[in-house]
Chains A and B, each alone.
Chain A
């Protein structure tokens, strides 16, 4: 069974620090997404990719986030100057539309 993997599973960081989260999608998938979910709240869209190009970004994305694909396979989500309210689970997903969407197990970020 293929899987999407995310690292780290948990991270604690001080307010104002930069954080990098990593995701390895399924290798032949063309669609890729980052979401976050503050504990007990709704799932919040961050950014999507199609075929290595950003497809859509949320309103908050450009303020604080950037995404790279440094080696053509892994994705990194960088959060600049973290705030307390960035404490959340960040999860990625990949798919070829019409097929199963594979979600990672998420990276829990706690900003203190």
Chain B
């Protein structure tokens, strides 16, 4: 099974960029990387996803290394409302492999 690992927690000052890493060293060539976040144990909220190329949307940027063994989610200007648990997910054909999640605390 593919495995994803994330640091358990990170802090970020409000207004600064938050860079959340994820290792997925056993990912296969056709498996996408997704990022979701969860606030107060609600359902996961979509942020961004990608396969090989870097991606950017209105919420965040996703940087995927050339060998695809790791990725970084970038929240360019973190706000207090970005405080949440962030999950890196690898989508295989049989299941979604969740990372253990990174608890991001944005402070004033």
Residues on A lying within 8 angstroms of B by beta carbon are 33, 35, 37, 39, 42-43, 45, 48, 50, 55-56, 89, 91, 93, 95, 97-98, 100-106
Residues on B lying within 8 angstroms of A by beta carbon are 32, 34, 36, 41-46, 49, 51, 87, 89, 91, 93-96, 98, 100-101
Q: Are A56 and B95 in contact (CB under 8 A)?
A: yes
Which residues of chain A have C-beta atoms less than 8 A from B100's C-beta? Answer: 42
Select one of B32, B43, B94, B96 contacting A105, CB under 8 A. Answer: B43
Q: Are A48 and B41 in contact (CB under 8 A)?
A: no
CA distance A12 to B32 in the complex (A): 37
Q: With a 10 A CB-CB cut-off, give which of B42, B89, B94 has the most chain A CB atoms.
A: B94
- Quick one: given A42-B100, A98-B32, A100-B49, are A48 and B43 in contact (CB under 8 Å)? no
CA distance A48 to B98 in the complex (A): 14
Q: Which 9 A-B pairs have the closest CB atoms?
A: A56-B94, A105-B43, A43-B98, A103-B43, A103-B44, A55-B94, A48-B95, A106-B43, A45-B95
For A89, give the chain B residue with the smallest CB separation.
B41
- Measured CB to CB, the closest approach of chain A to B5, in angstroms, equals 12
CA distance A43 to B87 in the complex (A): 10
- Measured CB to CB, the closest approach of chain B to A10, in angstroms, equals 12
- Quick one: given A42-B100, A43-B98, A103-B36, are A97 and B42 in contact (CB under 8 Å)? no
CA distance A45 to B99 in the complex (A): 12
